[in-house]
Amino acid sequence: MMTLVTGGAGYIGSHVVKQLLETTEEEILVVDNLSTGTQGRIDTLQAIRPFTFIRQDLNEWEKLETLFDEHDVGAILHFAAFIVVPESVSEPVKYYMNNTVNTTKLIDIAMRHDVKKFIFSSTAAVYGEPEITQVSEMTATEPINPYGMSKLMSENVLRDATYAQKDFKHVIFRYFNVAGAAVDGSIGQSFPNATHLIKVAAQTALGKREEIFVFGTDYDTPDGTAIRDYIHVEDLAAAHLKALSYLDTSESDTFNVGYGHGFSVNEVLATMKEVSEIDYKITMNPRRAGDPAQLISNNSKIKELMGWQSRHDSIALICKTALDWERKI
């Protein structure tokens, strides 16, 4: 059986594919429309060992059905989604159609083709703006933007599908702020018009942008800027491999994936200045719609049940790998 990775040419998906290729003998099938991923990243991954790549959009449902008819897929790791919070506020239907409708169709096809495992890329945005400092998987889900809601709706579809078909099992990962690049420098984030803070900071430090904008300086945080739980992309990728083996002996479940502590926007920007040794320009702006003041994970569940442990829990390392990748490209 093959492991299907949707969005496997993208930022997070490619790091998962890399670890699958390096540490397993699984036959890999990557499906990506290359809207944010690149053929160059596919070529880099193919150099590790060959795998099947199909350029296709998930809204091409007839082609997707044919793909499952032609390939014996046993597990799916689903990364193909839109992820920009402000864009989700201005273009909500775009997010619901791709993140919820296409995911629902993928689940439907997977169930009818006897897929056993489904690993879903969700988000901490499903928690909205919680009143507590650290959120656990039991924290109420109250998204404050269409991005978070589109993911929460997909979570519910997946849970209901699993309940209806007992041998179809899932793991839902609620990501916190993913950043950095492969430590060996082979792949990283190449998202066009990036909005992720650490990547944008690296671009500004290297002169690819004239300045970086901070959105919101009046949050109820120690320095007034928003606080996030930043996790290195390789640690996040490793959790997905853990999930595949976890489902061999365990039931479906939902897990936070973060480090359990946070850094403010100002702290991140100061770290990037220290790592790059460049004093770049920062411009303060009002808050954006849909951004909570702080979001930090309680990650005890994934540590206890999956045995997942971080290897790169360092904001300096995260910034350095992001900067090194930005220099490379």
| Per-residue pLDDT tens over the stretch 72-119 | 999 999 999 999 888 999 999 999 999 999 999 999 999 999 999 999
Q: What is the pLDDT of residues 214-268, one digit of tens each?
A: 999 999 999 999 999 999 999 999 999 999 999 999 999 999 999 999 999 999 9
**Looking at residue 131, what is its pLDDT?**
82
Cβ neighbours around 287 below 10 Å, total = 14
Residues 10/39, Cβ–Cβ less than 8 Å:
no
Tell me which long-range contacts 135-140 makes (C-beta under 8 A, separation of at least 24): 135/256, 135/295, 135/296, 135/297, 135/298, 136/256, 136/298, 136/300, 136/301, 137/174, 137/254, 137/255, 137/256, 137/298, 137/301
Distance between CA atoms of 75 and 91, rounded to whole angstroms?
31
Q: Which of 196, 212, 202, 211 is nearest to 321 (CA)?
A: 202
pLDDT at 11 over 70: yes
pLDDT at 43 over 70: yes
Q: How far apart are the first and last CA of the chain?
A: 35
Distance between CA atoms of 46 and 263, rounded to whole angstroms?
36
Identity of the amino acid at 293: A
Q: What is the pLDDT of residues 164-195, one digit of tens each?
A: 999 999 999 999 999 999 999 999 998 777 88
Provide the whole-model pTM: 0.95
What domains, with CATH codes, occur in the chain?
Answer: 2-179+229-257 (3.40.50.720), 197-228+260-328 (3.90.25.10)
Q: What is the pLDDT of residues 57-67, one digit of tens each?
A: 999 999 999 99
Q: What angle do CA 42, 47, 48 make, to 5 degrees?
A: 105
Catalytic residues: 147
Among residues of the chain, what percentage have pLDDT more than 70? 99
pLDDT level of residue 290 (50, 70, 90 thresholds): low
Kindly give the pairing relationship between strand 230-232 and strand 177-179.
parallel
pLDDT level of residue 130 (50, 70, 90 thresholds): confident
What are the backbone angles phi and psi of residue 32, rounded to the nearest 5°? -155, 140
Q: Residues with Cβ < 8 Å from 130, sequence gap 6 or more?
A: 139, 140, 142, 292, 295
Distance between CA atoms of 103 and 214, rounded to whole angstroms?
33
